[in-house]
Structure 1
Amino acid sequence: MTEKRTISRVEPDTMALRALAHPQRMRMLGLLRIEGPATATSLAARLGLNSGATSYHLRQLARHGFIEEDEARGNARDRWWRAAHESTTFLAKDNTDEDAVDAGIAFAQAALNTQIEQMQRALARHVELAPEWRKASTISDFNIPLSAAQAEALVEKLHAVLWDAMESAPPLGETYETGVEPVTIILHAFPRPPESGGA
C-alpha cells in the first residue's frame, strides 16, 4: 500500500483570489502544479503568449503566494517558477463578507471556464485513448433530491474519497510509473437552477 502524504493547500484572501481569477494565471498555476517547474519563456510558448505578459502574470502569482521561484534551477538568464501549493480552496462556509463572496464567484467563473476547456480537449482526444483509458473516463451528472445539510454531507464524503486518493498518489509533476497519468476529476454540486424561459 502506498504511504499517504500531506497535500499542501492554500485558502487565499480576497485580493489573492481576485488576482488568481485571471484565466491565464489559472492556466499557468495549473501547468506548474501538474507538470512541474517552468520558466516564463516555456510557459509563454505553451500558452501562446509573449514572455513579457507571462512574466507579469507569474510575478502576480508570486506576489500572492501561489508560486515561488525555484532557486535550485534558476540562473542569471532564466528564472524558474514552481507552484507553492498543490490545491486552492475558497468560499469558506462561514464567510459572510460580500466582497469575499464576489471574489469567490469571480474565481469560480474563471475555474469553470478552464474546466470546460479541459473537458472539450479531453473529449476531442477521447477517440485516441487506449480502451482502458476510455473505460476509466466518464462525463456524469446526478440529480438527487436533498436538503442543504444532506447535500453538504454528501459533498464532504466525496471530498474525503478524493483527498484520500490524492494523498495516496505520487505528487503531481513527477515521473510516474508506466500507465500512470494525471487524472482530472471535476466535482460540482449546487441546487439545480430553474430553466430560463419556458412555456
Structure 2
Amino acid sequence: MAAFSSDGSSERDIELDTAALRVLAHPLRLNVLTLLRERGPSTATRVAEELGINPGAASYHLRRLASGGLIVDEPGRGTGRERWWKSVHRQSIHDPAAAPDEQREAGRAYTQAVAVAAADRLRRAAQEVALLPQEWLDATAYSDFLLHLTPDDVDRMRTEIFEVVCRYRHGASEAPEGSAPVVLQVQAFPVPGAALSPAGEA
C-alpha cells in the first residue's frame, strides 16, 4: 500500500523520510499542507479561516511544516507580522512496502493520518453535493466495491490504478480549458476487523 497526500502546483514530488513522516503524522497538519498545494501561498489567518481553526493553531502547524522542510516563506510577500507560506513540493509519497524498518512506526502513524484527512475531505465534499453544477454531479463518483483479495492482489491493483492516474496528471499551467481541480481518492483496505489477528495472538 502507498499513502499519497494531495497533488498541488509545485514542480517536485518528495519521498518522505522518517522526520517528514513524523511531522505529517497529524491529520490537521496534512490538511494545512494540502490547502497550500491546492490554493497556493497563504497566511496563518487565511489558513485558519479556510479550515475553521484558530490562527494560533494554524501558525503552529505552519511552523511545524516549515521545520520539516515541507513549506517555505513566499519571497517578497508579507510583513513583519504576517508571513506567507508556500509548499515546496507537489506531492508527498510514502510506500510502506518499500520503507526501511526504522520507518515502520512513523509510516504507520502517517498512513493513519492520511486516512483520517481523506475522510474529512470526503465529509466536506459531501456537504457540497447539493450545490454542484449538474455537469460536475454527473461526472462525480462515490463508489465502493467489496472484493476478496490477497495483499498481492491489492498491490497489483493499486499499481494499475496509479498508472491510469498518471496519464491524467497535468500541471496547473497545462490544465485543459474548462477543468477544475479534482480529488481522486484511492483507498483499498481490509473490511474493518477482517484482517486483525484474533485476541491473544501476535
Q: Common fold, TM-score beyond 0.5? A: yes
Q: Which residue of 2 aligns with 1:185?
A: 184
Q: Which residue of 1 aligns with 2:73?
A: 69
Q: Which residue of 1 aligns with 2:45?
A: 41
Q: Which residue of 2 aligns with 1:102?
A: 105
Q: Which residue of 1 aligns with 2:93?
A: 89
- Please say if residues 91 and 101 of structure 1, whose CA atoms lie closer than 8 Å, have aligned partners that are also in contact: no
Q: Which residue of 1 aligns with 2:171?
A: 170
Secondary structure of the 1:38 match is coil
Q: Which residue of 2 aligns with 1:56?
A: 60
Secondary structure of the 2:89 match is coil
**Residues 113-140 of structure 1: CA distance to partner in whole angstroms, max 9, x if unpaired?**
1211211221221121111111111111
Q: Which residue of 1 aligns with 2:6?
A: none
Long gaps (5+) in structure 2? 1-8, 197-202
Please identify runs of 4+ aligned residues in structure 1 that moved more than 4 A.
none
- Please say if residues 17 and 103 of structure 1, whose CA atoms lie closer than 8 Å, have aligned partners that are also in contact: yes
Q: Which residue of 1 aligns with 2:163?
A: 160
- Please say if residues 9 and 86 of structure 1, whose CA atoms lie closer than 8 Å, have aligned partners that are also in contact: yes
AA at the equivalent of 2:53: L
* Residue 13 (structure 2) aligned to one of 9, 22, 38: 9
Q: Which moved more, 1:179-188 or 1:85-94?
A: 85-94
Going from structure 1 to structure 2, the CA distance change for 1:151 and 1:51 (only over 3 Å counts) comes to closer
Long gaps (5+) in structure 1? none
**Residues 125-184 of structure 1: CA distance to partner in whole angstroms, max 9, x if unpaired?**
112111111111111123344444343222111111112212xx232xx7x776422111
- Please say if residues 16 and 94 of structure 2, whose CA atoms lie closer than 8 Å, have aligned partners that are also in contact: yes
Q: Deviation at 1:92?
A: 3.8
Q: Deviation at 1:45?
A: 2.4
Going from structure 1 to structure 2, the CA distance change for 1:6 and 1:41 (only over 3 Å counts) comes to closer
TM-score w.r.t. length of structure 2: 0.80
- Percent identity between the two aligned chains: 35
* Residue 129 (structure 1) aligned to one of 132, 150, 168: 132
- Please say if residues 43 and 82 of structure 2, whose CA atoms lie closer than 8 Å, have aligned partners that are also in contact: yes
Secondary structure of the 2:72 match is strand
